[in-house]
Amino acid sequence: MNAVEVAHPPAAVVRVLNRVVLLATRTPLRRPVTKAILVLRFTGRRTGRRYDIPVTAHRGEDSLMVLTGAPWRLNFRGGRDLDVTLDGRTAPMRGVLVEHARTVAETYAQRIAELGPRQGPRQLGLKITVPRAPTLGELVAAVEREHLSIIWLRPRKG
């Protein structure tokens, strides 16, 4: 058994929850429901289709980021412009995919430490199967196995 595993609900549940969350972000009552949710709006690199993806917002020292292993993350390889809605405000941003395993693992470790052993894994979509914080090596293995990444979000210039 791996010390860190991805804990995703079934795809059908995710589709329904995403619709509910997107609706909630568009209502006047959104504040308590969507405080930590941001919506990424971007065009698919191959399909040309517009996507609205609700995700958990993670804040770094001077940045906003998304931690994910979802296939849509590949749209951000090499960087991509998008609109980000957080707390009812939309801003033009640039998203850049970070796939370097150690960098991603260190970020996951930092978020787990900041959020705590119960809340951290849940917000990150992880299941920790050991009775302690995972080591950096265990997180690197999970990043490589599960294709976990970071999308760094920065304000768009110009």
Query: Residue 28 has what pLDDT?
Result: 60
Give how far Cα 1 sits from Cα of 5, 111, 127, 146, Å.
9, 23, 12, 14
Query: Residue 71 has what pLDDT?
Result: 93
The residues of the chain scoring below 50 in pLDDT are none
Give how far Cα 97 sits from Cα of 33, 44, 78, 152, Å.
27, 14, 7, 7
CB atoms within 10 A of CB 94: 16
Query: Residue 31 has what pLDDT?
Result: 55
Please state which CATH class domain 4-155 belongs to. mainly beta
Instruction: Of 92, 96, 72, give the one whose Cα is nearest residue 82.
Output: 92
Instruction: Of 146, 61, 43, 154, give the one whose Cα is nearest residue 110.
Output: 61
